[in-house]
Structure 1
Amino acid sequence: MMIRPASETGERGELAQAKADGRASMLAAAVGKEVRSLRRMLNMPATALAAVAGISNGMLSKIESGTATPSFSTLLALAEALKVPVARLFVGHDERADYSLVRSGKGITIRRRGSKAGITYQLIGHVLSGERYVEPYLVTIDETATDSPGFQHTGIEFMYVLRGSMLYRYAGSLFEIYEGDSLVFDAKAVHGHERILQGPVTYLSVVFNLRA
């Protein structure tokens, strides 16, 4: 039987403790970030949340900054005040990784409701993570396409033009968009291409949303 030196055993114990402390710090940071995010979504002042949860303003500040690890009873009180299940507070610490790999040319061609001939939408991935989902599309508009009827949907949309140029409508504004340009907007307002300036136009469209 080999007996390890006390110094080596001690070093391993310190390493294990350091790893445990690191995981605890990551958990505290994730919980704090989620508490702050939920509070802001409810437009609730920090003082109001602290009062409802029965904790001090200073403690809430430490929890949201990730510098304090709340007890389970405090987590329950915070979850109740924020009107969410307590498990929701740990969503940022979920280690599951959802990914989507789509090979070149293997995206799924779909037809969006209201779209016209000459416009192709290719879904090139789909990621669900916690309460969020992301849908990237490769959109191609050829010269024969008529103007878009305009789309409205939930979420935030990011566009990046890969080739061509077009006149693009968003709410009451019109933009000339060229290769290399990008646009980010709240997709609840009416949006869509108005006219092709130089076609065909290909752009990447990524929609970020919350799961209902």
Structure 2
Amino acid sequence: MTQQDPKLQLEQYIAMKVKRTRVEQGLKIMDVARIAGLSQGMVSKIENAQVSTSLDTLSRLCDAIGLTISKLFSDYDRPEGGAQLTKSGQGMEVVRRGTEKGHTYQLLSYHRGKKKTYEPFLISMDDAAEVFPTFSHPGQEFIYMLEGKILYRHGNHLYEMGPGDSLSFDAEVPHGPEQLIEVPIRLLSVIHYDDEH
């Protein structure tokens, strides 16, 4: 049998949760058995996943150790998870217009699914004398200043930004750095794409 029997998994989960709670409460098996009106053997078998128990028995046992049925099952079918961690300095460096001028773009997350929904970049700029290209692309963009000061253009508007400032805008409208006021500059840029992207 390649896959574990789900019934066995459930019994093992209940056993682990019941035993852990009983021990945390400082209760002995004989005390729990007496309070729940169960035999010590039955409590022991439940804690060792050796028996399938009725809901009535399980409810009495949970009452005895101060554990609600909802709390008992709160973690049972929680999804496995699997977030993508990108350690500092380990984002994938990507080429964008401006990279040859001392800009670095680190892509912090690489979406592996069917559809790209967002792209987060850590952007560094360190030459205050540069002339900048403007950008225009699908989606919404959010930028958050981490370090330095910048004059940022969006369409016909200019925004002076420093550490802690953020700006969000329609990325189809031409945008980009107008002037680097204080270098080095580091900013976080997150581009969110619409459903059709």
- Give the TM-score normalised by the residue count of structure 1: 0.53
Partner of residue 8 from structure 1, selected from 57, 78, 88: 57
Q: Which runs of 4+ in 1 moved over 4 A?
A: 2-6, 9-12, 95-98, 128-132
Count of matched residue pairs: 137
Correspondences of 1:83-162 after superposition (within 5 Å): 99-113=83-97, 115-127=99-111, 131=115, 133-144=117-128, 146-162=130-146
AA of the residue aligned to 1:169:
R
Of 100-109 and 172-181, more deviation after overlay is shown by 100-109
Shift, 1:133, TM fit: 2.2
Counterpart for residue 172 of structure 2:
188
Shift, 1:104, TM fit: 1.5
Shift, 1:198, TM fit: 0.8
Counterpart for residue 183 of structure 2:
199
C-alpha spacing 1:97/1:153, structure 2 compared with 1 (3 Å): farther
For residue 175 of structure 1, give the secondary structure of its aligned residue in structure 2: strand
Gaps of 5+ in 1: 24-94
Shift, 1:97, TM fit: 5.0
Which one has a bigger Cα radius of gyration? 2
Gaps of 5+ in 2: 1-41, 43-50, 62-68
Is contact 1:156-1:185 (8 Å) kept? yes
C-alpha spacing 1:181/1:8, structure 2 compared with 1 (3 Å): same
C-alpha spacing 1:129/1:112, structure 2 compared with 1 (3 Å): same
Of 135-144 and 197-206, more deviation after overlay is shown by 135-144
Deviation string 1:14-55 (CA, Å, 9 cap, x unpaired) is x69xx8xxx9xxxxxxxxxxxxxxxxxxxxxxxxxxxxxxxx
Which has a greater percent of helix? Answer: 1
| Superposition CA RMSD, Å | 3.5
Equivalent-residue separation in structure 2 for 1:112 and 1:182 (angstroms): 21
Correspondences of 1:54-69 after superposition (within 5 Å): none
- Give the TM-score normalised by the residue count of structure 2: 0.56
Shift, 1:117, TM fit: 0.6
For residue 99 of structure 1, give the secondary structure of its aligned residue in structure 2: coil
Counterpart for residue 18 of structure 2:
none
Counterpart for residue 44 of structure 1:
none
Shift, 1:143, TM fit: 2.5
- Is residue 159 of structure 2 the alignment partner of residue 175 of structure 1? yes
C-alpha spacing 1:11/1:207, structure 2 compared with 1 (3 Å): farther
Is contact 1:115-1:149 (8 Å) kept? no
Counterpart for residue 37 of structure 2:
none
Is contact 1:98-1:128 (8 Å) kept? no
Shift, 1:111, TM fit: 1.5
